[in-house]
Structure 1
Amino acid sequence: MNGKTSEEGELGVKRIAALRLAVGMLGERDAAEWWTSAFLSPTSTSFLAPVFGGNTFQARYHGVLEAARRVHDERIGVGLVFHLFRLPESVEQRLFESVQSGSSDLAKTISSPESAKATLQSFVTQTVAAKSGPALMALPEAIETAGWVSEAASLYSAAFGAGVQCFPYFPSDR
């Protein structure tokens, strides 16, 4: 992350991963039904543990990531845009490493729907009107700073509260 210390960059990556998990859980079929997956439901571990063993958390994370990514891609498009579930490769790599090493901290984010809501709310810094559909966010260079997390959280929170689907995105600078 440009101009940031390693610690600041790691905190930003953890914030993005936590936001992904919170939105992922709140968007699943047992909650808002934005996507039909149930990777973060309480029963998913029973099905995933025999296959993934000690990597069950990572399997749950990547499962909901892919489910949410597909729905976001369908609504926003793929190519010259980024969103919470599809970020530049350099950010995705840091997220992968963070999830591999910090699963126990991140697991608290999805211990219940209430904890997911609390995590989402912890990132909200402004009250915004609920928007339905794709919602343009900050400029592309903001992706590298992770300052956009609060803007995305505010949009997602408003949408979940209003019962509409919102898909915040960035235009690509490429």
Structure 2
Amino acid sequence: MDKLIIKTLVELRIIVGYLGEKSQYNWWPSNFLAPTTQKMLEFTFPRTAQVSQYMAFSAAAAKVHDEAIGIGKSFHLFRLPEHIEKAMLEEFKMLGKDITETHLSSKASATDRLTELSGGASISGEGPINIGETQIDKLDRVAAKVACAYSQAFSENNKAFPYFQSNI
């Protein structure tokens, strides 16, 4: 799997995870990426605080996405095939702190980066949004469409849950 695609997916997950939290757009009732939560986790889990934070916000977002989309033969940003999830976790361990410090300083900073990640893709809507079917080597295009769908939804104060089918 292309390392750049994994890095993009991790960055996208962190940014959408942050923007979807209660303190930003309130799509899910958690604040796992808040500085106060980070401090609490560092006290409770000194060696694994960052990974705990990643797992917690991912689970909160996955639950909301699964409720909106359903669970079946489709994937979304917070529920991907196991080998991709493992690669993303390893990438997060290396780059997560840099991404959170760079792009989560404010809601505006995060939304700006999300717009950049959309790479000029054009897709919008509300609720579940079917991105279509893709192959493993086309995940970069899916990532741009997913970023665009979230960016549009946040800017229009809607909730969007982009998903895709794949034989990955």
1:52-131 to 2 correspondences below 5 Å: 52-107=45-100, 108-126=102-120, 128=122, 130-131=124-125
Structure 2: 5+ residue stretches without partners: none
Equivalent residue of 2:48, what SS? Answer: helix
- The residue type equivalent to 2:39 in the other structure is S
CA distance in 1, matches of 2:85, 2:5: 12
**Aligned residue for 1:153?**
147
Structure 2 distance, partners of 1:161, 1:24, is 16
Task: Please say if residues 121 and 144 of structure 2, whose CA atoms lie closer than 8 Å, have aligned partners that are also in contact.
Answer: no
Shift of the alpha carbon at 1:45? Answer: 1.5
Aligned counterparts of 1:129 and 1:170: Cα–Cα separation in 2? 13
8 Å Cα contact 2:104-2:110 kept in structure 1:
yes
State how many pairs are aligned. 167
1:162 equivalenced with 2:156 (yes/no): yes
d(CA) in 1 for partners of 2:109, 2:137? 25
RMSD: 1.9
Could you state the TM-score of these two structures normalised by the residue count of structure 1?
A: 0.87
Does the CA contact (< 8 Å) of 2:74 and 2:166 recur in 1?
A: yes
Gaps of 5+ in 1: 2-8
Q: Which residues of 2 match residues 134-149 of structure 1 at below 5 A?
A: 134-142=128-136, 145-149=139-143
Partner in structure 2 of residue 31 of structure 1: 24
Q: Single out whichever of 114-123 and 17-26 deviates more from structure 2.
A: 114-123
TM-score (norm 2): 0.90
Paired with 2:132 and 2:166, the residues of 1 have a C-alpha distance of 11
Following the alignment from structure 1 to structure 2, what is the Cα–Cα distance between the partners of residues 143 and 92? 16
1:63 alignment partner, SS class: helix
The answer on whether the counterparts of 2:124 and 2:149 sit within 8 Å (CA) in structure 1 is yes
Of the structure 1 ranges 49-58 and 19-28, higher mean CA displacement relative to structure 2 is found in: 49-58
Please tell me whether the aligned partners of residues 13 and 146 of structure 1 are also in contact (alpha carbons under 8 angstroms). Answer: no
